[in-house]
A and B are shown apart, each in its own frame.
Chain A
Amino acid sequence: MLLALAIAAYSVAACERESRPFRDLRQASSQAQGQPESPLAAGGPSSDRGVPSPFHNSGWGQSEGKRLFTAYNCSGCHANGGGGIGPPLMDDEWIYGFQPGNIYMSIVEGRANGMPAFRNKIPDYQVWQLVAYVQSMTGQTPIDTSPGRSDHLKPHTAEIIQPYQGRRQTGHK
């Protein structure tokens, strides 16, 4: 009985972490990102707006952030978190602050030495999804919601492609 209750309670909590609020995205995509201060300068001093990331506990939000990280070419400079042209994101050194509000401002306003401003280019909720993913890289998010490591980062080829490389399949369904 207790076990059943525990399982039920855990399931409910797990559902919360996987919920996908598609219907609310319209409100969440209003771009309350303000006007740029000048056409060129990077953002001002890093201010944590004191807001928690709405996707901090969301497995869906973090995995969407992971997808957008590649889609919007964050990986072009930050690689898979290890850095390259841009600073690494998976270490514990934060030039502009590690709070969700800090990361949000870095994405929206851009930073000196090459980080472009994504102001009004990315809807608000996607910025927060990116924030959640960036936080997950340093273990700031619950481990049961953080996305797994990609296949291409593993030391061996994904099993599904191993036997077929360079060969065309003609089997039919």
Chain B
Amino acid sequence: MRFRQILITPAAMLACARVAMGATPGALNLPNFDALTQKAAQTVDITLDAALLGLATGFLDSSKPEDAAAKEVIRGLKGIYVRSYTFDRDFAYPEAELAKVRKQLAAPGWQSLVVVHDNRAHSNVDIYICMDQGRASGLAIIASEPRTFTIVNIVGAIDLAKLHALEGKFGIPRMQLDEKK
């Protein structure tokens, strides 16, 4: 009994801590970018939780390749969050906010998948995947250019094979990634 308690307690504490922090594996705590909306020339702010994804699924037309691919991709997902801002001048966005998000990706579970830094174009794309109990449970993309920054957070059981299928359907070139599950 005592031994079992010793085993269960750390796991329970970890689970409680996660619940207390509201941390779903693979989910990022995105900063509030409301202030940037006024400054930005173009804004994409998409928050699709599990309920809205379910609702959207009902309105996807399986006879359309794009819709059918989307339906396949979102199966098993718990949320898709996109924040993208385009400005009229260079580096108008706060780097500190991006750093906050990058810091979250240093947490256990997150693994860097692709890092692209183009110093000449000041273009950066970081792709991270969150592994939870050996399964992909989240994907994060942080892309920044002088006038644009984008954060994409896909939460849930991401199937990289489906992502490949999405690439084909949406005209995305296929990435040569090793899938180790």
Partners in one complex: no
Q: Give chain A's interface residues, CB within 8 Å of chain B.
A: none
Instruction: Show the binding face of B for A, using Cβ within 8 Å.
Output: none
